[in-house]
Structure 1
Amino acid sequence: MKDFQPQNEEVKAIRVLLHGPVGAGKSSFINSVNSVLQMRMTNEALASSTTSDQSFTIKYQTYKIKKEGKENIYPFVFNDVMGLEEKTGVKEEDIKLALKGHVKDGYKFNPVSSLSDGDHGYNSSPSISDRVHVLVCIYDANASEMKEPVLQKMKKIREAASELEKLYYPS
């Protein structure tokens, strides 16, 4: 990890988007990776310590991990998002826009309506570095059962990511 560099020189950092149900541990995962690489406990991504059916994370937030003893960062970043909920939470359309690089860092998700062109948090001309390069689904293995609407959202997001892979990386 310490010597990794993206193959494409236009990509400043590999963008890893974490998504999944509310309370699955997306923010905690970011903190765990950061803690391992820093070789000390860190808590950059704020996470709720209580179980809730509402997302603690409300913004599209980019987390960069500093290299030990240096001022520069690792060539990958994590994006944390609001959790997927049965009726509210992050909209699957917002995740699809994030995959394409259209969501600006710090955008506060609106659980009522999706981001659209012209909105304050919309990036109308994303660079290759703004796009998501890796999509990771986080879910709680101890959760009793995932609700069908949340599973359907996750399926649609995965399908959209697969379509983008074909578009950006044709075989």
Structure 2
Amino acid sequence: MESSKSKSAPVYTSTTYTPPPNPELDKPLTGKFNWDQKEALKKKLEDFTLGNPDVKKINILVAGQIGAGKSSFINSIDSAFQGRICCRALVNPSAGGRSFTENLKGFTIRSGKKSLPFVFKDTMGLEADQLAGSQIEDIISAVLGHVKDGYEFKEKRTIYFKDEHFNMNPTLSDQASCLVYVVAADTVQFTDDKLVVKLKCIRERISAEGIPQVVIMTKVDEACPLVKQDLRNIYTSKKIYEKMNLCSAKIGVPLTDIFPVKNYHEEIDTEDDIDFLLLKALEQIVQIAKMKWK
């Protein structure tokens, strides 16, 4: 016998489905990007000439926030040329929020046994606190060639002319041809205005001397799942584009001089796509630096 209570039919409501926003740009930032030209790019850098008899090498001073990957970037460039993971610039991922690099040290880039005319100068990391990390004046003095390799960065005072590592009369080959700021994409919010002030102060002083500056944006895979899935999405990722725009607005470096890369971190072998991005960034850096000496 059927129940006197009739079962009510389910009620369906009409809803409009809104698809999630597309995480990719309509077109890549760089236009056509040939990922298969790593060897040609490497050869181009190996054959690079300075074009000025008074300049023996291109010094590239590397500065930036603690933990952004300054030393790892130098090691990654080295690895791209050597075809194996290199760790000449010491890093310490468990440094506890303090800079592991304490002394100014230059690293000549080699390809096989050939020394290339590119020297990366590693510095102590910048911190927001005024007296913590490397000091603004030390970074500026190093860019201008007044600081010799081996100088120990000090948190509460800067180099002065009686210091054994002070270079009173720097030559063109002592000066930095380019200043590279290394910024981590996953922490590029710049919530601390004190760090921004430091970066802007350095930028203004160096710009007055005609020294070109670029930004290397690291840890792109940690900032964007799309890039983590496939590094080739780096120039179509809206998230990376937003990070680059924020970096440009905060520091004042043009978008065209911001280069997103992935450093070698956990890999045990080199990879072509990682190498290509690193070499492409270096190509842009040395071309910009070369213009200074023309």
Query: What TM-score, normalized to structure 2?
Result: 0.54
- Structure 2 counterparts to residues 129-144 of structure 1, below 5 A: 129-143=173-187
- Aligned counterpart, 2:199: 154
Pairing partner for 1:21 from 65, 83, 103: 65
Task: Figure out how many residues of one structure are paired with residues of the other and give that number.
Answer: 167
The Cα shift of 1:113 comes to: 0.2
Distance in 2 separating the partners of 1:10 and 1:90: 30
Identical aligned residues as a percent:
39
AA in 2 matched with 1:152 = V
Partner residue, 2:82:
38
Q: Partners in 2 of 1:7 and 1:95 — Cα distance?
A: 27
Q: Choose from 95, 105, 125 the match for 2:169.
A: 125
- Alignment deviations for residues 94-153 of structure 1 (CA, whole Å, 9 cap, x no partner): 011011100000100111101011112111111111101011110111116432111111
User: In the alignment, what sits opposite 2:127?
Assistant: 85
Pair 1:53–1:5, CA change in 2 (3 A): same
When Rg is computed on C-alpha atoms for both structures, the one with the higher figure is: 2
Q: SS of the counterpart of 2:185? A: coil
Deviates more, 1:147-156 or 1:45-54: 45-54
- Letter of the aligned partner of 1:131 in structure 2? Q
8 Å contact from structure 1 (residues 23, 52) kept in 2: no
Task: Classify the secondary structure of the residue corresponding to 2:134.
Answer: coil
Offset, 1:67: 2.5
SS at match of 1:158: helix
Structure 1 Cα separation of the partners of residues 115 and 177 of structure 2 = 18
Unaligned runs of 5+ in 2: 1-44, 212-291
Q: Residue 154 of structure 1 aligns to which amino acid in structure 2?
A: L
Q: Which among 75, 94, 117 is matched to residue 50 of structure 1? A: 94
Match of 2:86, as an amino acid? T
1:82 and 1:109 in contact (8 A); partners too: yes
Amino acid paired to 1:26: K
State the secondary structure of the residue aligned to 1:142: helix
Q: Secondary structure at the match of 1:149?
A: helix
Q: Deviations over 1:19-50 (max 9, x none)?
A: 11111100000000000011111001001122
* Runs of 4+ off more than 6 Å: none
Distance in 1 (CA, whole Å) between partners of 2:139 and 2:52 is 24
Q: RCO greater where, 1 or 2, for CA within 8 Å and sep 6 or more?
A: 1
Structure ranking higher in helix proportion: 2
Residues 61-109 of structure 1, C-alpha deviations (whole Å, 9 max, x = no match): 10011221x3x41101000100001220000000110111000001001
Distance 1:158 1:126 in 2: 21
Structure 1 counterpart of 2:154, from 110, 114, 118? 110
